[in-house]
Amino acid sequence: MITEDDFLAAADCPPDLAFVRLERKFREMLESNLESSQSGNMYEHFVIEYMNHTLAAANALGLDILEFFSVPDPNNTSNLTQTYNHFRQVVDGYTVGVHIRNIRVGPATSLPFDEHEKKHIRAYVTKIKEIVDASALEAAKKEALMNRLNAFLAEVDKDRTSMQRFQDFIMSLAKTTADATEELEPTWKWARLIAAIFGVRQDTENAKLPPPPKRIERPKQQIPPPSARNGTRRADMDDDIPF
């Protein structure tokens, strides 16, 4: 049974990576169902269920990778295994490509922090929350900013922290401090320290990426000497020159 938590795997990431994460959940469920099933007659049901879920995910995310497939007819399963194998080949090929692309651009969308970095980020966010809490900021705006800070902390606790969540946190802080500049100005000291941690980690991750392949220059076409072109001898050409 697919749960809401399973669908959270597709949150805060590009559509292609969201599809890969969801398909992994669907495949795990398929394999679990097949393993625990006591009846071989359920094979067709579970395979069709997997294909249905995977097709729905691709369509919802605006991906056309499975546009030539449709949900198999449960009343006509004579070619189901062949169709399913082809389906899996297409999905697996796409998945490999997505992983390679996201390894190359991973640091641009999310960052993996170690426990030392997370400890400092949490401490800095706590300082910001203390300043906000003690301020005379309007209650609704204070609550909204606190919620944003808590959401950012929850993101930091994950294996990889979304850069989008960090940007949301900074934008929310900027909008709120505009309403109480003097009181909330000290929050930017801690925000800058958090940004510095993000900057160092991003540089570290970018340094791990392999350099882009060098462009191989096409060999320059060798222009044959005049004597080799059109079968004309140099002496004959000299005879034609009027000076």
Distance between CA atoms of residues 153 and 162, nearest Å:
11
* Residue 141 contacts residue 176 (beta carbons within 8 Å): yes
Portion of the chain with pLDDT greater than 90, in percent: 26
In this prediction, residue 89 carries a pLDDT of: 85
How much is the average pLDDT of 138-157?
89
Closest C-alpha to 9, from 159, 164, 121, 168:
159
Residue 243 has pLDDT above 50, yes or no: no
Local confidence band at 126 (pLDDT 50, 70, 90 cut-offs): very high
Distance between CA atoms of residues 31 and 46, nearest Å:
9
Distance between CA atoms of residues 103 and 100, nearest Å:
5
Local confidence band at 241 (pLDDT 50, 70, 90 cut-offs): very low
In this prediction, residue 44 carries a pLDDT of: 92
Residue 175 has pLDDT above 70, yes or no: yes
Return all residues near 141 (Cβ < 8 A) that are at least 6 apart. 176, 179
DSSP per residue over 14-36, as a string?
Answer: -HHHHHHHHHHHHHHHHHHHHHH
Task: Quote the pTM value.
Answer: 0.46
* Domain layout of the chain by residue ranges: 4-110, 112-208
More confident residue, 66 or 105: 66
